[in-house]
């Protein structure tokens, strides 16, 4: 019996056991295609039941931009109103959607795959990674639409537009770190998923999606400093810098954004790995 049983367990890992950190990262790299295939199948599976299919990838952020633009175009005035309001708003909404998609789906990446997690031994970090990969697939056509809209709105095309993709790659690293942190917390305290939309709203307003933070908070230096240090603000500011001729990001954004990404993904990976034994017991 022993000779027969041994081959059946070859290559399998014990569910609920935390491997060494180096082995964990190595296994994750070897199984990276699993995360990509899962991301692709989930993206297609989520869009096919809709009549408009893949068009919803670009229709949702476009609809949000139209709604916010219509409302706040009549409300904002004075220093709070940014120059070139419509392009300013569109860039902010489109880039922020990348964060909200990763944050919201990342919080459910373990709990929504409970059967898979409980049945097979694999690095659970692949599930949050697949979320980021899916959102990255979504953001590409959104950015192409953004370029078309900016041209229609009279924004001069520039070589700097190409920098939006490395900026989004760095943002994706930051988003992965956030997804890892919230995914582990959700396993033990699923109530955190109810807070995600609230946190998104706070960051939406705090990141100056539709108004000029420097003008609106000119009389509140402490709040202005806090807003400038929000990671979502940093990435949106960089996106506006390379896409809009009328906007220049603060120097601190170019420094802080990659630091946020590096610190968050390192901390998030270690934090997530430490909770690995718990994921196999999630319900």
Q: Which of 46-50, 76-80, 105-109 is modeled with the greatest confidence?
A: 105-109
And the tokens for 103?
Answer: 């944050």
The secondary structure of residue 281, as a DSSP letter, is T
Element (H, E) at 120: none
Question: Which pLDDT value is given to residue 26?
Answer: 93
The phi-psi region of residue 179 (left if phi > 0; otherwise alpha if psi is between -120 and 50; otherwise beta) is: alpha
And the tokens for 119?
Answer: 């049945």
Residue 121, C-beta contacts closer than 8 angstroms, at least 6 positions apart: 12, 13, 14, 15, 17, 280
Question: Which pLDDT value is given to residue 254?
Answer: 93
Give dist(CA 176, CA 105) in Å, integer. Answer: 11
Query: Distances from the Cα of 128 to the Cαs of 87, 108, 257, in angstroms?
Result: 32, 9, 21
Question: Which pLDDT value is given to residue 56?
Answer: 63
Residue 125, C-beta contacts closer than 8 angstroms, at least 6 positions apart: 24, 28, 180, 269, 272, 273
pLDDT of residue 241 exceeding 90, the answer is yes
C-alpha of 269 from chain center: 15
Quickly state the pLDDT bin for 79 (edges 50, 70, 90).
Answer: low
And the tokens for 282?
Answer: 């999630």
Give dist(CA 208, CA 221) in Å, integer. Answer: 15
pLDDT of residue 75 exceeding 50, the answer is yes
CB neighbours of residue 52 within 10 Å: 9
Quickly state the pLDDT bin for 11 (edges 50, 70, 90).
Answer: very low
Cα 24-29-32 angle, rounded to 5 deg: 120
C-alpha of 112 from chain center: 18
Quickly state the pLDDT bin for 48 (edges 50, 70, 90).
Answer: low
**pLDDT tens, position by position, 143-167:** 998 999 999 988 999 999 999 999 9
Question: Which pLDDT value is given to residue 112?
Answer: 83
Average pLDDT of the residues of the chain: 83
pLDDT of residue 50 exceeding 70, the answer is no
Residues in the chain: 283
Question: Which pLDDT value is given to residue 127?
Answer: 94
pTM comes to: 0.85
Q: Are 75 and 81 contacting, i.e. CB atoms less than 8 angstroms apart?
A: no
Q: Are 163 and 127 contacting, i.e. CB atoms less than 8 angstroms apart?
A: no
Question: Which pLDDT value is given to residue 4?
Answer: 41
**pLDDT tens, position by position, 177-218:** 999 999 999 988 877 888 888 998 889 888 888 888 888 788
Q: Are 61 and 206 contacting, i.e. CB atoms less than 8 angstroms apart?
A: no
Rounded mean pLDDT, 168-179: 96
Give dist(CA 75, CA 117) in Å, integer. Answer: 48
Give dist(CA 283, CA 253) in Å, integer. Answer: 40
Region of poorest pLDDT, from 2-6, 124-128, 227-231, 279-283: 2-6
pLDDT of residue 268 exceeding 90, the answer is yes
Region of poorest pLDDT, from 12-16, 61-65, 122-126, 272-276: 12-16
Percentage of the chain beyond pLDDT 70 is 85
Helices (H) and strands (E) in the chain, counts: 14, 0
**pLDDT tens, position by position, 83-137:** 788 899 999 999 999 999 999 999 998 888 877 877 777 889 999 999 999 999 8
CA proximity to 239, closest of 132, 146, 174: 146
């Amino acid at each position: 019996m022993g000779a027969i049983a041994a081959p059946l367990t070859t290559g399998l890992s014990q569910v609920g056991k935390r491997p060494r950190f180096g082995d964990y990262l190595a296994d994750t790299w070897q199984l990276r295609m699993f995360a990509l295939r899962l991301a692709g199948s989930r993206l297609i599976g989520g869009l096919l039941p809709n009549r408009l299919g893949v068009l919803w990838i670009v229709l949702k952020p476009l609809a949000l931009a139209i709604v916010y633009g219509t409302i706040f175009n009549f409300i904002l005035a004075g220093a709070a109103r940014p120059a070139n309001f419509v392009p300013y708003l569109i860039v902010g909404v489109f880039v922020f959607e990348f964060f909200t998609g990763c944050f919201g789906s990342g919080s459910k990446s373990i709990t929504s795959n409970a059967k898979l997690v409980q049945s097979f031994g694999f690095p659970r970090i692949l599930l949050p990674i697949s979320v980021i990969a899916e959102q990255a697939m979504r953001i590409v056509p959104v950015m192409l639409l953004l370029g078309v809209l900016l041209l229609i709105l009279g924004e001069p095309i520039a070589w700097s537009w190409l920098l939006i993709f490395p900026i989004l790659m760095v943002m994706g690293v930051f988003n992965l770190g956030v997804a890892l942190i919230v995914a582990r917390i959700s396993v033990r305290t699923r109530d955190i998923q109810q807070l995600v939309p609230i946190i998104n709203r706070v960051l939406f307003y705090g990141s100056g999606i539709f108004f000029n933070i420097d003008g609106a908070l000119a009389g509140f230096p402490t709040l202005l400093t806090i807003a400038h240090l929000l990671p979502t603000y940093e990435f949106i500011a960089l996106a506006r810098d390379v896409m809009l001729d009328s906007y220049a990001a603060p120097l601190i954004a170019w420094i802080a954004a990659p630091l946020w990404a590096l610190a968050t993904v390192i901390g998030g990976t270690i934090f997530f790995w430490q909770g690995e034994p718990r994921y196999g017991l999630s319900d």
